[in-house]
Structure 1
């Protein structure tokens, strides 16, 4: 006569079977399949790139900062997008800034996302000789945000207006707000009870400086910039290299990739490979 296994034992045997099957699938079969797939011609390429001097110059999959020891842009190179990975493109510290659209007021130890964007846009505009203004940004490159006090708490007559991101003795970006003189922010003063009011200003709705020039990627490691940002930098790079704009644009086209599978993501220009190609084809004059 057939005797059933105890219920607790049957459960343990079933669990062991699941562990065994998953171990074979995910621990053995999957890695072997992926390893074999990686050997397919065209998929086994190395990401290491070689500089114009024949020495290793990084990876085509990880971006780099093209700046001097003081962090200033090297004008003969295309500039990458900002990075929050460590001190910039640190593969051991990949990550984002974790600041959202409501980050508009600077703190004592950290600028807001709005101020970061405003400052970067102004810097890019100055570097490229274009209008770097953006909505909700001041002329000096910080977030155009007021702290407004009302006699009724959050409503009623305005009694005080402070430019929160412009510490004294800075001149406020706005002279008056609803009939009240705007003052600079006094360091150490608590403005938490003020109503936060971003001010749009008269900047164009579509800024000249592209979004990827002022915002970091989620990983902080992306080596690509948008074709628009590459085109914005082209006149400067061509001038510094003594090359024609047409020749530099031809290189940009060569290192531009389209959308994945034709529909995913946006076209991008690999800055690392592009700058190495510039060193090979158009070395800087006098270098």
Structure 2
């Protein structure tokens, strides 16, 4: 400390010097060094957010963040490959990354929130209708909700079955099964308490290997993943080719070009970047449109 300054002033002078030095180092020098390093060839694109340019020459988001290819009403734009569902905000919101936080035991709908099973069933039915394939899957009803019965027994968990309710089919819907163990199945009454019933998912006669892939009906953990499985991309190829007036084999070739393999050859599964694929699609087979097709990132 300076012997000519009062102790309190000397201490504050030291504190001011430390603040100035740290500000220069951490607030100026460090960011400048990182910015310079980010300009190294091979790192520039990633450092700038992996931005991509659309077929019109304008910015089209990031190759690392998915987008929803839907119209103003949320309906799929049939000329584009569709992304997987997203729980990030209203869909692929980079500021609201997150999962739906529903697990495999989420099979019974609440009044204000469908179960994970019903979400999967409804999505599978919708994708099946869009792609012209059977959207049926195990534990789903034909009308696209979870095939789950609430079974009341005489002694609580044992004994004779006294009543059966199709928990996810609210009246006046017709239950997916007419009887269960000799008892007529009822539709569910809105607001009724079925807490004493045993929850019994019913597999049904849907194929064990559904036509609609799992990634078409479930969201990624981040809600931002821009990839879909090659199987889901190939399922969409005939519809996209038809809408574009393109050859289906040529569209499948585009899918192959935008398919990435497993990380390090062993980690994860192959994926197709939908954002890049749809941009390539616009370049190879443009369609006349008066409005922008991409939403999200």
Deviations 1:193-226 (A, max 9, x none): 1000000000000111000000000000000000
Shift of 1:39: 4.9
Which residue matches 2:237?
234
Which residue matches 1:41?
41
Residue 33 to residue 103, structure 1, CA distance change in 2 (3 Å): farther
Which residue matches 1:62?
65
Q: Distance in 1 between matches of 2:68 and 2:158?
A: 47
Check whether the contact 1:241–1:285 (CA below 8 A) recurs between aligned residues.
no
**TM norm structure 2:** 0.84
Note if 1:197 corresponds to 2:200. yes
Q: Distance in 1 between matches of 2:69 and 2:203?
A: 32
Note if 1:102 corresponds to 2:123. no
Residue 44 to residue 184, structure 1, CA distance change in 2 (3 Å): same
Q: Distance in 1 between matches of 2:73 and 2:35?
A: 43
Which residue matches 2:281?
278
Note if 1:217 corresponds to 2:220. yes
Residue 154 to residue 37, structure 1, CA distance change in 2 (3 Å): farther
Which residue matches 1:185?
188
Deviations 1:147-176 (A, max 9, x none): 000001111100000000000000000000
Q: Distance in 1 between matches of 2:162 and 2:235?
A: 44
Q: Distance in 2 between matches of 1:36 and 1:222?
A: 29
Q: Distance in 2 between matches of 1:224 and 1:66?
A: 13
* Stretches (4+) displaced over 3 A: 30-41
SS of the aligned residue for 2:254 comes to: helix
Q: Distance in 2 between matches of 1:268 and 1:190?
A: 44
Q: Distance in 2 between matches of 1:215 and 1:97?
A: 10
Q: Distance in 2 between matches of 1:114 and 1:33?
A: 50
Aligned length: 262
Deviates further, 178-187 or 41-50: 41-50
Deviations 1:251-285 (A, max 9, x none): 11111111111111111101011111111110126
Residue 37 to residue 228, structure 1, CA distance change in 2 (3 Å): farther
Q: Which runs of 5+ in 1 are unaligned?
A: 1-22
